[in-house]
Structure 1
Amino acid sequence: MGTKLFDKTIVSDAVEAVDFIGNILESSTEYSIIGKDLNGKILLWNEGARRLYGYEPEEVVGKANSQILHTAEDVAAGKPQQMLEAALHAGKWEGTIARRRKNGQQFMARVVVTPRRDGKGRPIGYLLISKDVTNEVAFSEELRRAKLFDSAIVGNAQEAVDFITNILESSTEYSVIGKDLDGKILLWNEGARRLYGYEPEEVVGKANSSMLHVPEDVQAGLHQEIMAAALRDGKWEGTLVRARKNGQRFTARVVITPRRDSSGKAIGYLLISKDISAEIRLTEELKATQFYARSLIEASLDPLVTISPEGKITDVNEASVQVTGVAREKLVGTDFSDYFTEPDKAREGYQQVFSQGFVRDYPLAIRHTSGRITDVLYNASVYKDDKGNVLGVFAAARDVTAQKQASRYARSLIEASLDPLVTISPEGKITDVNETSVEATGVPREKLVGTDFSDYFTEPDKAREGYQQVFSQGFVRDYPLAIRHTSGRITDVLYNASVYKDDKGNVLGVFAAARDVTERKQAEAKQRASSAYARSLIEASVDPLVTISPDGKITDVNRATELATGIPRQRLTGTDFSDYFTEPEKAREGYQQVFFARLRERLPAGPSATPRAESRTCSTTPVCIRTTRTTCSASLRQPEMSLSAKWQRNCSAPPPPTRVPSLKPRLTRWLPSARRARSPMSTKRRSRPPASCASSSSARTSPIISPSRTRPEPATRKPSLKASCAITPWPSAMRPAGSWTCSTTPACTKTIRARCSVFSPRRATSPCRNRRRSMRAV
């Protein structure tokens, strides 16, 4: 048995074992340990029993019965015997009973009685351990009277103490510290240990609570002020900087209340504190986040507003203040819909957000206090708390006043168009039209929008193919269609269409414009009918009929011409008119005479016409081959003159040298055939100058301007020639500005071939001084 209770290094023999047990018993001063036999005679009495009951060991050991420790009432009731029997039967009896000291004083004690047995297990006596719990019982009664505990939880003072101790030890987040009036620490729970870092043994009954304050607060006497305020006001609460054992500082929320005894006298303080550094950090972060969010909200140029489920404004930004003209303080709490031109539509908008969760591009118009109207598009959605409960609506308004004005301007341009204009979606549905489209179809805009584009044409499949071609190729031009009016009227149109895109290049639809060509088609039909009638008359002629271009080419013939030549119309057209005659030159001369006659008819002649242009007449007399003498005379000549050469009668004294204005002719346009053959006018029918000409009447006839590029025939009688040149203006309708006409008179002993040249203002002042520059076709 001894080997089971003692370590051999501590107890080596029986004497040491007895001494060890005696030492333990004597050391137990708080608990009374009493040994007795089966009849209750006291056999063991320790120091705790002596202190608790007042009897000396010599007075009771082997002499007295344990009944002396019971009250007379319990002895009379047989309570001691019941306790021993219960302990013997159950192995233990435990409870709180009234006990009596040597001086007769009674007290409450918690008593545990257990049987003692020998080596064979037979009971040989009892061990009674007891402790004075009078104060605990009194405390329990006070707690019970104060109704701090449920009687089912706390039955006695010890249970109350255990319960309170358990509570204090369980409080790990809050520091609970009890101290006296001077600040000495009397209670230190687990939360205090964790928060401040001190163990209970280091501070309880030893340290002052001022060590938990930072030195600055201690020097300022803050800890004394706090305790005085708590004693005066019943409580002090605030945030303090505290110091841990390792010197680290932290911010704590502290509550100090005074402790009082049963008479209400202050006996100390209870200090409860909690580290709120994390809370402060989170609060600062939250403030920073809120400030950041607020700055973003205020930085927005769009009006932002939050709306409660009741439709009241709960917050706005500065842009909302500016757009309404109402201060934030007055806006908050008012009805959201009161600031719009259409309050019912605004109310319907935010109600739609609550029912559907959001709205996009909801059109409204905000009315400023000055009367100014701002067109906006609202995007809004609900916002919720962390549990998902809807708190309200957050709405942002985008100012679209400028866009609406631009849209109205663009709309006015569209509506001003006299051509039907239409936009078509990729699905072939009409998305917009102008008023002209309404008039062309006889269907109102509201009914046109959303319907199939091809439904309003006489050929729906062709119309559908047209806009599909636009989507595939990007555009169409002059696409013929016919619009059917509701009255049955048909309008022939040519459509020009192309795709239109958004700012990212995505194709949104087709924009098509229709040009009404009904009148043009009617005119073309009339022209075709007239042409057919004229053609029928031409074909009815039994004489060959032909049309000839200025180049001498056949452009059209009738059936009689085909029969006369034996050549089909297709082969005749484009060939030379003169090729089908026995005398081609004569045929050519014939149609050229027609052209010359037509030109003469268009040019007025004669001196009676009002002179409007100045011309110069120059005559040159070759003295030798390299040297010439020039005489010029100026006279007013009317601007539209004949094509034939103009002989000058007066070749008088020469005027001062003057640059002749450029009147360079371009006659190839009128007589292109002159390039291919010599004109009969230049080879056979040369005209003579009038006899009164100042040059010479006996000279051989000199050629006038030739429409060909051939040189004029040389003189044969005398070797010298006298040339006379004059500007002949051309009609403005024939585009050329002027030309030179020249004549030659033999005056020298040598034969000289004379050329007439066109005046060039860049190279000469007189046409007679242009050396060997040929006249280009008249």
Structure 2
Amino acid sequence: MSQSPTSASDAAEALREMAEQRHRLEMIIEGTAAGTWEWNIPGGQMRVNERWAEIVGYTREELAPITPETFFRLVHPDDLAQSNALLSAHLEGRSPHYDSLCRMRHKQGHWIWVQDRGRVYERDAQGHPLWMAGAHADVTDLQQARQDAANMRQRLQAVVDASDEVAVIATDVDGVVNLFNTGAQKLLGYRPEEVIGRVNPGLFHDPDEMRSYLQPQMDAEGRMPTIFEALTAHAAQGTWSHQWTFLRKDGERRQVRLSISPLDGAGGSRIGYVGMAVDLTPLLQVREQAFVAAEKFAGAFSSAALGMALVSLEGRWLDVNDSLCGILGYTRAELLQIDFQTLTHPDDLHTDLALLGDLLAGRREHYHMEKRYLGKAGNLVWGRLSVSLVRTENGEPLHFVSQIQDVTAQRLSGQQLRESEQRTRVTLDAVADMVLTLDLHGGIQYANAAATRALAGEGAEALAGSQLQEVMELTTEYAPRSPLDVAVLLDPDSNAVDLHSDLLLSVSAHLLPVDLTRAWLCDEQGQVSGAVWVIRDVTQQRARQREARHLAEIDPLTELSNRRGFEAHLQQAITRVARTGQSASLMYIDLDHFKPVNDTHGHLAGDAVLWAVASVLRHGVRDSDIVARLGGDEFAVILAGCSLKRARRIASDLLEAMRGLSIPWDQRRLSVGASIGIAPLFGGMSVDDAVAAADAQCYRAKAMGRDNVQVEAQALGAVDPLDALDASESGE
């Protein structure tokens, strides 16, 4: 039966419209720069447009034949499982469409972010998917922008949190807290999770204080504004500050200066408020303490057992207490008519005036001396004088404050002092620690019996009169052949001793671990004139410390270095590379199919496998190399003086040895494989960067089928002299 002309015309018109629609659809797709794909699910074939291939840097011909495996091969291993789960959910009808954000490897080797969307558009009679189509787009720039925004938020939060002396609290327009920095935590005692999104800042105000403040603002209907409404009303047009009482979580009251400012969005609309509170409590306490101190000084001045005086800059007595009058034998009225120079013994006046000159010039803050005064009865009074200078707020000298203790009786008790010194020497000779008294040039003025025995030998004569550097030498465990400079150790302004917790004392050709404690001796003018050293033998203490450090850095199962010890050794290796320029490599090892061993045979079997692998690694490298178990089934090896090429050969040998492992367990033989990644160490890189570089190569080994070695490609071109030697010896 022939077709009528009208039917043929209609069919042609329909085909033409379909072609135009398809052309328009293709133009729209091309205009969006999206890659399209179509998947015959039962047959496993896929059709993609040229843009799909361009996004990952290929042509369609380079990717042919294109199948789902093409997509799986390009997707980042970390994203593949999630993408497959989303795809399965859609294919099984549990989600209306497939939508996945994942990373795909570009032909040039870098990763790009792709938004992949699709939907099944045809199913068979049983509901099984037949055809699916979708598109994916390069959203790398969008992801980077999101990351930059997140980083910016983190930096802003860090800036706010760094201001821990200022409490910063932000709210939305309804008064709900949405920012609570570390300063607010410190001031109020709440954790952010207790406050943010939960409370109104009115919680922090003293209820009684706010009730009195809000009472006058009550309206005709008897309604008072809330604390938030009242305070933000003042800040509607700009910053408003006021002093308030805040209540901490523990009930303690704090006085604060609170400044409230409005927060407006980009369009000018009000989005909230920010309050900044400075704790005034310490300042108010200082003021209170200053007032109390002034009262106490007035009371102490008049009732002190010591003689006290306020002296003008010219030396006249401005005020004296009763004790000073009693010491010198004058009445208060008599002393206020004369100056201290008149009552000072002529032999002591020059020194006293010189020290006063140092005070006025700012060369010292106070001074002490013993001097003689002329009493009213003609008697000689020995006084221990302490003088300080009071200045105005601008730093201008105001007057002197003098304290005078009558030490006449002490000056006459020399015999008692000598007896006291004798008792001190006997006591020090009974002490096991070495005690030395030194002048600032290293001269030994006194050495107790323990010091004499240790430094000069049993039965030796006293060391007094010897030079310190002639009888002893101090070094450190870090540099045992580099003696410490005695002049630096005897400098009161030096902290050389404080910086060393690893001092060694050279005694009789061997090094003794010691601790050194210093105390400084001052002369009558307050100047440092010498030092007392106490040296203690800490051999057993250091040994216990070393044992504790060793236990802290060893994995108890494999007896390899643990992560803590590994990181310390890795930092040393990086520092050595920076200093010497010598090659070094880091090997990262992740066992393959280890989890089934634990799941099937138990953790004791897993421990046996880990011990066997540790043994292979330990015996497969040099004694100078560091082998560590980082945790679980992850190991690392630090190869000092080893280039990547040599490291790859070592790794291949280790891999071959592990392939041959056969561990007997419960009438079975257990085996395990490994994936190894290797990266070079560079001077200046961080420990985290080094581990990440080697871990990335291990990841690559996993992605390429496991049981192989991957090395950072861009570093393989470097030539190491040891490689050349190996090549010549092996005929390479």
Fold match (TM-score > 0.5): no
Q: Tell me the TM-score normalised to structure 2 length.
A: 0.29
Greater fraction helix: 2
Q: Which has the higher contact order (CA 8 A, sep 6+)?
A: 2
